[in-house]
Amino acid sequence: MFFSASKINPPANRLARNKLSRAMLSALVVIVAAGCSNNAADATSTSNTNIVNSAQAKTSAAVTANGSDAAVVKALQANLKTSGIEESIISAVPTDMDGIYWVTAEGLPAFFTDKSGKHIIQGQIIAVGQGEPVDISGALVARTAQDALKAVNKKDMIIYPAKGETKSVVYAFTDADCGYCRKLHEEMDDINARGIEVRYLAWPRSQESIPKMEAIWCSEDRNAVMDKAKTGANVTAASCNSPVQTQMALGASLGVRGTPAIFTESGQQVGGYLPAAQLAQAVGIK
């Protein structure tokens, strides 16, 4: 796929100003087993990754040894600029497919490019012929998410700790006005009792939901106000320098298109809404 445009401008206009960002997000396939979305098709979509063994996804040994290829970054940056696109490319990491690189850029979902940096490629690249099909981007996607989520300050999240031993931690992009988010929140006691700590990140799905999410994050007792908002009640608070829009941009860069979007500490996205028992199973708790 080939796209054109300019710098991502997160949330206030819902990424709509950027043609490249908009085109990439509209084409992105995201795991939304059960969740709320601005697009009805997104809310009911399921991932096509079940045809591959994501657990076997791997990166080339060259990734660890060499890291990002500066020449590819420079070439891609130059080609984008020639096309009138002012994007900041962070890295271009070689994959197991010869001549194909995994690119991360500020404010955009990660994508593939070739060695010349002349092509933007989205979607899965599946390796076959050596046993089960393997999504070669799987580990790269997870690593990008793992690093990005790990960098979020805990004070900027709303955390529901595990009861007793913490067996697993999940990050959940959430919207107080999303029905599936509310279903997940209704099971919070059960989730926490199973040893799962839930770290909420803000991802309002519409302009109308932003003030409510801002109010939650600006409240003195965020957990109490979140609990109230998840029942459908209106909540208010004095304005503050909240992380809501930053977290919206983070979600967009990780390919979030619906809520809840749940990620493990290792960066794997395990789906949308899952009942407590299924969530525990998804994160490896028996």
pLDDT in tens, 173-230: 999 999 999 999 999 999 999 999 999 999 999 999 999 999 999 999 999 999 999 9
- Residue 244 has what pLDDT? 97
pLDDT band per the 50, 70, 90 thresholds, residue 69: very high
- Residue 149 has what pLDDT? 97
- Residue 35 has what pLDDT? 65
Among left, alpha and beta (phi > 0; psi -120 to 50; other), residue 129 is: left
- For residues 259 and 22, the answer to whether their CB atoms sit within 8 Å is no
HEC assignment per residue over the chain: CCCCCCCCCCHHHCCCCCHHHHHHHHHCCCCCCCCEECCHHHHHCCCHHHHCCHHHCCCCHHHHHHCCCHHHHHHHHHHHHHCCCCCCEEEEEECCCCCEEEEEECCEEEEEEECCCCCEECCCCEECCCCCCEECCHHHHHHHHHHHHHCCCHHHCEEECCCCCCCEEEEEEECCCCHHHHHHHHCHHHHHHCCEEEEEEECCCCHHHHHHHHHHHCCCCHHHHHHHHCCCCCCCCCCCCCCHHHHHHHHHHCCCCEECEEEECCCCEEECCCCHHHHHHHCCCC
* Token output for 67: 């890291």
Least confident residue range of 127-136, 140-149, 185-194:
127-136
The one-letter code for the residue type at 9 is N
pLDDT band per the 50, 70, 90 thresholds, residue 267: very high
pTM, entire model: 0.73
Report the alpha-carbon angle 145-253-15, nearest 5: 165
Q: Which sequence positions are flagged as catalytic? A: 175, 178, 181, 205
- Residue 125 has what pLDDT? 83
pLDDT band per the 50, 70, 90 thresholds, residue 161: very high
Q: Is the pLDDT of residue 2 over 70?
A: no
pLDDT band per the 50, 70, 90 thresholds, residue 143: confident
- pLDDT higher at 103 or 107: 103
**Ordered domains of the chain (ranges, CATH):** 11-30+58-136 (3.10.450.70), 150-282 (3.40.30.10)
